[in-house]
Amino acid sequence: MKIILPHKKLSQSVENYRDIKQDAQSLIAMIDAGNFTGMWKEALALSHAQVSTDPYAFFVVHKSLEKEFGSRIIMNAKIVFGADVVPFREACMSYPFRPEKKTRRLETITVECDIYNPLYFLKRNMKHVTLELSGLPAFIVQHEIDHAQGICVYDKFK
Strands (E), 18-72: 45-47, 58-61
Residues with Cβ within 8 Å of 138's Cβ and at least 6 positions away in sequence, in order, are 105, 106, 107, 108, 109
Closest CA to 2 of 71, 96, 130, 74: 96
Per the structure, the complete domain to which residue 92 belongs is given by 17-156
Is the pTM of the predicted complex or chain greater than 0.85? yes
Q: Measured at the alpha carbon of residue 23, what is the angle toward residues 21 and 26, in degrees to the nearest 5? A: 110
Whether 84 is in a domain gets the answer: yes
Give the pLDDT score at 113. Answer: 98
| pLDDT mean values, one per 10 residues, the chain (158 residues) | 84 95 96 86 93 96 96 98 96 92 97 91 85 98 96 86
Closest CA to 47 of 97, 110, 1: 1
Give the pLDDT score at 122. Answer: 67
Q: Domain tally for the chain?
A: 1
Give the pLDDT score at 42. Answer: 87
Whether 129 is in a domain gets the answer: yes
